Amino acid sequence: QIVNLLGRYSRHVEAIDMISGRYTSKTTEGRDPSGALLADLNHVSAVLVDTIYSNGTAVPSSAGLGRPKQEVWLPCGFHGDAVNSETSSEFVRIVDMDTMTIRVGPKLPSAGGACTSLAIHVLPNEPPMICSFAGTRGKHDSGEFLPQTQCYDRLRKRWWSPFGEMPFGLDHGNA
Mean pLDDT of the chain: 88
Residue 60, pLDDT > 90, answer no
pLDDT in tens, 43-53: 888 999 999 98
Mean pLDDT of the 52-74 span: 85
pLDDT recorded at residue 67: 83
Burial of 141: CB neighbours in 10 Å, binned 0-12, 13-18, 19+: exposed
d(CA 148, CA 158): 16
pLDDT recorded at residue 101: 94
Per the DSSP assignment, residues forming a β-bridge with 152 are: 130, 159
pLDDT in tens, 93-151: 999 999 999 999 999 998 788 889 999 999 999 999 999 988 888 777 777 787 788 99
d(CA 51, CA 141): 34
d(CA 64, CA 99): 14
Nearest alpha carbon to residue 36 among 85, 92, 82, 84: 92
The residue with greater pLDDT, 164 or 131, is 131
Residue 65, pLDDT > 80, answer no
Q: Tell how far CA 57 is from the center of its chain.
A: 21
